[in-house]
Structure 1
Amino acid sequence: MHTVQDGDPTAASRIRETAIDLFGRDGFDVGLRTIADEAGVSLGLIRHHFGAKHQLRAACDEHVLQLIDNLQAERVEVAEPGKHLLEQLAGLDELAPLVQYMVRALTAGGPTARAFLDRIVASTETHLDHGVETGTIKPSVDARARARYLAVTGLGGMLLDYALSDEDDAVTAWRAYTERVTLPTLELYTQGLLTDREMLDTYLLYLKDPPGGDPDVPGP
């Protein structure tokens, strides 16, 4: 195992990446000593860069959330979304540890999990709004509710899939999941499901005062 010296500028990132891998694989009961041994650093170096274990966990949360935010930004800002999708599919293995960590963070529950979810929902709303502005995503009568629905249903499906999976390896589990959901997800997002607006229009009338104050949302 490579040993990181105290003066190595990559020490902090190596510790963080190792912690993300171990927390995702084995849960948040993993101790700092185990992380130090796996990263090839001293326990003191971890405390120097991150302090206590909960502070290292917070740094891992922030790093994973930032990477998720970056990925969402890329999806709505690229000039050639089809080409970008293929590039993302080719790099699936790199995302596996992040997804496994996210699954652990959300299933752990508590305030940290709620904050984690709130960040993902907020990020989703921001990038959906950007897609609406650039014309790649249809407007919504309630943008915030749509963002939350997409985030919660997407994450909920992923959590259930992982809970029922027999795969122990993060990369194998992630690849199996994406193979199952990519086609139906893209189909639903691109073509929709219902062939007319009757159910939506009926419900908007039922609300009497729909979000945004205008029940006449743009059609296809």
Structure 2
Amino acid sequence: MSSTEADSTSDGKLTTRARIIHAAVRRFAADGLGAPLRAVATDAGVSPGLIIHHFGSGEGLREACDRHVLEATARSKESVLSPGAGAAAMLSQLAQIEEYAPVIGYVLRRLQTGGPLTRRLVDAFAADAVDYLRRGEKAGTVRPSRDREARARVLTEQALGALLLQLPAQQEHLDLDELPRWLDDYAERIIGPVLEYYTEPILTDPTLLDAYLAARPRSNQETP
């Protein structure tokens, strides 16, 4: 059973397990994944022992939060993300929806920390980018790539890496109420420069690329 199926009781109230997960996502987003279980327990209105009963350990709770967040982002991205917007834009748009700010904060904290969810999120964002770029190639608005998947992954990793470098809480408290505004300001700040180097390449001739491809002949193949 998924976390979404188990979130509510028959009268519409959150189950104890779901209440703990929601509280944990918010606490971990605000204070980092090392936030103490007693703080999560206080937020959820339960005892630390009840958290251990449901999840076995702090790591078990974080794994449950990972699953919850992955399901939430997968469920929501199609409704808020326009084709070609990319990973950073998706996070910014989702954060504008009040209920998703803790989810996006958790995603950023997890990206900082690493782990299985980080790899799964980056893989999912890169797969989306491959699809968007393929559509752009068919529409004639994006240049075909010699390696579409590799290009999409580099663009995704650059976008997420730049976002994390600017995040206003490296290992400190993250203000979830301010996160949507900060992400919106960040997106506005980078749109111009990003569009410039997408549409007006920095290098004025292909000498370096030609030399690289000559040394790596197998990479000089168009992706179908």
SS in 1 for 2:118: helix
Higher relative contact order (CA 8 A, sep 6+): 2
Is 1:171 equivalent to 2:181 in the alignment?
Answer: no
Larger mean CA deviation between 61-70 and 148-157 belongs to 61-70
Q: How many residue pairs align between the two structures?
A: 203
Q: Does 1:93 align with 2:86?
A: no
1:180 aligns with 2:181: no
Alignment match, 2:128: 127
Whether contact under 8 Å (1:72, 1:127) holds in the other structure is no
Q: Name 1:50's counterpart in structure 2.
A: 55
Contact 2:96 2:180 in 1 (8 A): no
Letter in 2 for 1:129: V
Match of 2:200 among 189, 194, 204: 194
Does residue 1:214 correspond to 2:196, yes or no?
Answer: no
List structure 1 runs of 4+ shifted beyond 6 angstroms.
164-167
CA distance in 1, matches of 2:76, 2:40: 27
**Pairing of 1:107-126 with structure 2 (within 5 A):** 107-108=112-113, 113-126=114-127
Deviation, structure 1 residue 203? 0.7
Q: Is the 8 A contact 1:23 1:104 kept in 2?
A: yes
CA RMSD of aligned residues (A): 4.1
Q: CA deviation at 1:22?
A: 0.7
Q: Which stretch shifts more, 69-78 or 120-129? A: 69-78
- C-alpha spacing 1:204/1:57, structure 2 compared with 1 (3 Å): farther
In the alignment, is the contact (CA less than 8 A) between 1:24 and 1:100 conserved in 2? yes
Q: Which amino acid aligns with 1:116?
A: L
Report the residue type matching 1:206 in the other structure.
Answer: Y
Return the alpha-carbon distance in structure 2 between the equivalents of residues 23 and 167 of structure 1.
10
> SS at the partner of 1:171?
coil
**In structure 2, do the counterparts of structure 1 residues 186 and 65 end up closer, same or farther at CA, with 3 Å as the change threshold?**
farther
Q: Judging by fraction of residues, say which structure has more helix.
A: 1
| Paired AA for residue 131 in structure 1 | Y
Q: Higher mean Cα deviation, 147-156 or 178-187?
A: 178-187
The alpha-carbon distance between structure 1 residues 128 and 179, as it changes in their structure 2 partners (threshold 3 A), is: same
| Percent of residue pairs bearing the same amino acid type | 29
Partner of 2:110: 105
Partner of 2:37: 32
How far apart, CA to CA, are the structure 2 residues paired with 1:71 and 1:118?
A: 19
Name the TM-score, length of structure 1 as normaliser: 0.68
Could you list the runs of 5+ residues in structure 1 that have no partner in the other structure?
Answer: 79-84
Post-superposition shift, 1:186?
A: 7.6
Could you give the per-residue CA deviations for residues 133-189 of structure 1, whole angstroms, max 9, x where no partner exists? 545773432233223222222222222222479995222133123223246438845
